[in-house]
């Protein structure tokens, strides 16, 4: 069956959608936990029996910056807090939807600890969904507030 749109028309539509994403994109910060290890120093298996040698392992968060379009879902439950709750605490109800255009950003989000958007921290609450009219151009994620 013949396609309704030619390859050039499909490319033009995908380019315009990418322009929209580029126009409304803003920086998000993806924090990935990385492990740094030191060498053993003296190892008794290799003839060195210094009992003071040890393996040190440190974990630190590495910050990556990517561009994404962000949509704050507007379906917060108004009856979230009861009368005895503190009203100034952030709510984890509701979601934030982000779309990233690069596969590198998608891979980092898969393994990230948290994501910072507009000064607030979020955690991933979904699997990636590839989006695009003809082929995957971006990846959509849903996040929830980190409490």
CATH number, domain containing residue 136: 2.40.10
List all residues 6 or more positions away from 92 whose beta carbon is below 8 Å from its beta carbon. Answer: 144, 145, 146, 147
Question: Is 84 contained in some domain?
Answer: no
Q: Classify residue 11: in a domain, yes or no.
A: yes
Q: Give the number of domains in the chain.
A: 1
Least confident of 16-30, 37-51, 86-100, 120-134: 37-51
Rounded to an integer, the average pLDDT of 85-109 is: 78
Q: What is the pLDDT of residue 17?
A: 87
| Within-domain flag for 44 | no
Over 60: is that where the pLDDT of 121 sits? yes
Q: How far apart are CA 3 and CA 13, in angstroms?
A: 15
pLDDT band (50, 70, 90) for residue 105? very high
Range of the domain at 111: 7-39+56-78+90-145
Question: Which pTM does this prediction carry?
Answer: 0.70
Q: What is the pLDDT of residue 108?
A: 95
Would you state the torsion angle of the CA atoms of residues 118, 121, 127, 130, taken in this order, to the nearest 10 degrees? 10
- On whether residue 115 sits in a domain, the answer given is yes
Please report which residue ranges of the chain form alpha helices under DSSP H: 7-24, 103-110
Is 32 among the domain residues?
yes
Task: Classify residue 45: in a domain, yes or no.
Answer: no
Choose from 17-21, 27-31, 33-37, 93-97 the range with maximum mean pLDDT.
27-31
H helical segments located in 25-146:
103-110
Residue 41, pLDDT score: 56
What does the pLDDT average to over 15-20? 88
Report pLDDT for 44: 59
């Amino acid at each position: 069956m013949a396609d309704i749109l030619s390859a050039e028309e499909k490319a033009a539509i995908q380019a315009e959608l990418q322009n929209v994403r580029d126009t409304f994109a803003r920086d998000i910060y993806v924090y990935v936990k990385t492990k740094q290890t030191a060498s053993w120093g003296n190892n008794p298996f290799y003839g060195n029996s210094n009992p003071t040698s040890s393996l040190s392992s440190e974990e630190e968060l590495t910050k990556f910056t990517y561009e994404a379009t962000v949509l704050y879902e507007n379906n917060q439950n108004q009856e979230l807090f009861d009368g005895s709750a503190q009203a100034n605490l952030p709510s984890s109800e509701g979601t934030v939807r982000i779309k990233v255009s690069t596969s590198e950003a998608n891979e980092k989000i898969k393994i990230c600890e948290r994501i910072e958007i507009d000064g607030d921290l979020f955690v991933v609450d979904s699997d990636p969904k590839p989006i695009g009219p003809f082929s995957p151009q971006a990846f959509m994620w849903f996040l929830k507030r980190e409490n």
